Amino acid sequence: MHFVAFIAEKILAAVFLLAGATKLMQGRQWTTDAAALGTPPVLAPLVPWWELLVGALLAVELWRPVPAIAAAATLMAFTVVLVRVLRSGTRPTCACFGALSARPVSWGHVARNGVFVLLAVMVIAKTR
């Protein structure tokens, strides 16, 4: 179980680092995409930095299990946003991974987030 949780932690770290970095690389396009998803304008510029922080803390295994808890909470919040968007009938660009996520929001994104939450839970369980 420890090896599986270790791999889960590294995957989750990579996901958060990639998500934050690709959003930053998009510059203002990220805030436009975030607005289309309903992200409050005050939060949009902070999201990539938050993702980078969580990803970095997961990568270096610092302050366990706090980064994994933060990752799970963040992913659940993102999932709520995705479900809300899907229920509204609109299909903006996901932008979850910046320019790498050019497809419209779908239930597949919700399922993917569910897998990522499961990874975070595995990391949290490992530290107890």
Give the long-range contacts of residues 40-44, CB within 8 A, separation 24 or more.
none
Instruction: State the residue range of the domain holding 34.
Output: 2-126
Q: Is the pLDDT of residue 104 over 90?
A: yes
Q: How many domains does the chain have?
A: 1
Q: Is the pLDDT of residue 73 over 80?
A: yes
pTM confidence score = 0.93
Give the closest residue to 127 by CA, choosing from 13, 19, 8, 14: 8
Average pLDDT, the chain: 93
Instruction: Please state the rounded mean pLDDT for residues 81-106.
Output: 91
Q: Is the pLDDT of residue 81 over 70?
A: yes
pLDDT-derived band at 102 (thresholds 50, 70, 90) equals: confident
Asked if 71 and 12 touch (Cβ cutoff 8 Å), the reply is: yes
Give the closest residue to 84 by CA, choosing from 36, 121, 120, 42: 36
Instruction: Please state the rounded mean pLDDT for residues 2-30.
Output: 94
Q: Is the pLDDT of residue 128 over 70?
A: no
